[in-house]
Each structure stands twice: as C-alpha cells, then as structure tokens.
C-alpha cells in the first residue's frame, strides 16, 4: 500500500536524559488516544508510529558517538489533508470523549514537555516519494 500523495505529519523531539521517561509516558497516552481516530474515508489514519533512539553527535554519520540525548519521532499518515484537520479538531475539542486525555494534559502535559525539548514539525506534508 503506497503512501504516495497522502498527508503526513512528522514531529521530531530531541530530549535530554531526564525527560525521556516522561516522553515514554506521554507517547503511550498519545498512541492510546490515536486509536479513536477514523481509519477509513478522507480523514482516515493510514499509519501511526513513534520511533525512539539516540541522538548522534554527527547526525549524518551512523557511526558517530551518541550525545546522550534521545530522539523521539512521531509519524502519522492520513488519507488526505482532511485527516490532519480532523486530528487537530479532536485534540482541541471541548468534548471529553474526543479531546486529549488527562494523561496528555497533566503536569507536564505534552505541550509543556515539548517546550523543554528541541522540536521540529511537518504539519501537513504531502508524500512525494514512496515505494510500497
């Protein structure tokens, strides 16, 4: 199943060692919340993953020593841009059945925790190369 032309959200966090356990907790809660997203139609979530590994001193050299920091990468693929719009509508919803669970809001919540990290985000990417 090719993702060519689909909508992609990618977020990468570079995290200090003391914030890794909190990231693990937050991403477990986020993954659970994501199971409520539609899987079919124009807002359908096609794929979801969280990856985690060491940050390297030279990011282009896989043999480079680690910095001691951890990199978390979130990747979400949607059928169309409508999926990304629906994702953020749900996250901001006043309806407790739709919005982020307390585990993503509590001290520190995902946004507060993110502010302590280095974050790069692609909110509405379009897949321009895909193999399968």
pLDDT tens digit sequence for 67-126: 999 999 999 999 999 999 999 999 989 998 889 888 888 878 999 999 999 999 998 899
| Model confidence, pTM | 0.93
Confidence of residue 52 (pLDDT cuts 50, 70, 90): very high
Q: Are 44 and 79 in contact (CB under 8 A)?
A: yes
How many whole angstroms separate alpha carbon 25 and alpha carbon 28?
5
Residue 45 domain-assigned (yes or no): yes
**How many domains would you assign to the chain?**
1
Residue 35 domain-assigned (yes or no): yes
Residue 132 domain-assigned (yes or no): no
- CATH of residue 92: 3.30.70.100
Distances (CA, A) of 13 to 29, 42, 50, 86, 130: 16, 28, 11, 23, 24
């Amino acid at each position: 199943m090719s993702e060519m032309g689909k909508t992609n959200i990618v977020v990468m966090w570079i995290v200090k060692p003391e914030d890794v356990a909190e990231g693990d907790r937050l991403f477990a809660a986020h993954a659970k919340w994501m199971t409520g997203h539609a899987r079919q139609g124009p807002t359908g979530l096609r794929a979801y993953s969280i990856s985690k590994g060491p940050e390297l001193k030279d990011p282009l050299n896989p043999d480079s020593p680690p910095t001691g920091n951890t990199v978390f990468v979130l990747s979400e693929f949607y059928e169309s841009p409508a999926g990304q719009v629906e994702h953020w509508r749900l996250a901001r919803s006043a309806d407790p059945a739709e919005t982020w669970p307390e585990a993503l809001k509590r001290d520190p919540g995902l946004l507060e925790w993110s502010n302590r990290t280095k974050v790069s985000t692609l909110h509405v990417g379009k897949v321009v190369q895909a193999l399968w």
